[in-house]
Amino acid sequence: PIGNNNNNCQLSTVNRQLIITPALAFDRQGNRLGRGKGYYDRLLSQIEASTPIYKIGVCFPFQLLESIPHDSFDIPMDEVICS
């Protein structure tokens, strides 16, 4: 998501099976550290409310950490791919 206000974003009704998600960092449990606005967490929870989806995080090796701070509302990835 780009910009400050994505509340008007409409999701298509196409059957989704996979989403690839960027982040500043991931940990080995699939938690992601974003930019602190919760855009992806809101988007992922909205999508998963209607259909299950497999979530993949992508990162460079320096972005994969042992652990990062996370809250109960943060949506973890199912898999993290590191180049």
41, 42, 71, 78: the catalytic one is 41
Residue identified by tokens 């109960």 is 72
Q: Does 42 qualify as catalytic in the annotation?
A: no
Q: Does 32 qualify as catalytic in the annotation?
A: yes
16, 27, 28, 32: the catalytic one is 32
Pairing of strands 79-82, 54-59: parallel
Spell out the residues 6+ positions from residue 11 whose beta carbon is closer than 8 angstroms to its own: 46, 47
Number of helices and strands in the chain (H, E) = 1, 6
Catalytic positions: 32, 41, 74
